[in-house]
């Protein structure tokens, strides 16, 4: 069965923006062969933060998570490629940077679970939900790159 092209949601969190690794994150995604089809910088409001992290609402860390993600600007992206969700999660590394392998984004730039640089959707359902929270359809682009023939058979 041939791998399916997917779109997924990726966000450089406030600590990644503050530490100046936006370009490195984008570079790693693009060097892998993934295509950015939507991107913007924004400051997340409390309502959007609570919607984004709704699955954690009953957990004790929910309020601090909302406070953190609203503390500064983020860079939100829609990324496309074959099995993009799995590929991005591999590039990102384990949620806890201490457990993330060297060479992954969290493994190279993170030291603390609460400051782990980046968010990436973990399933097709979460990707669809998160993309729709952060992007209007007219902010996501479909385009072909000449280089794609050198990335995919």
Residues labelled catalytic: 119
Residues 16 and 56: their CA atoms lie apart, in Å, by: 22
Reduced to 3 states (helix: H, G, I; strand: E, B; else coil), residue 36 is: strand
Closest CA to 9 of 67, 65, 51, 47: 51
Half-sphere exposure (CA, 13 Å, Cβ side) for 77? Answer: 24
């Amino acid at each position: 069965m041939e791998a399916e092209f997917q779109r997924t949601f990726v966000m450089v969190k406030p600590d990644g923006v503050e530490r100046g690794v936006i370009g490195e994150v984008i570079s790693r995604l693009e060097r892998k062969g993934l295509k950015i089809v939507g991107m913007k910088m924004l400051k997340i409001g409390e309502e959007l933060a609570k919607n984004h992290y709704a699955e954690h609402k009953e957990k004790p860390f929910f309020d601090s998570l909302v406070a953190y993600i609203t503390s500064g600007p983020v860079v939100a992206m829609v990324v496309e490629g074959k099995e993009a969700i799995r590929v991005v999660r591999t590039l990102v590394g384990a949620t806890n940077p201490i457990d993330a392998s060297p060479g992954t984004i969290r493994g190279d730039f993170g030291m603390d679970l609460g400051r782990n640089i980046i968010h990436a959707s973990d399933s097709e359902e979460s990707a669809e939900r998160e993309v729709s929270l952060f992007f209007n359809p007219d902010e996501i682009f479909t385009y072909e790159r000449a280089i794609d023939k050198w990335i995919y058979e």
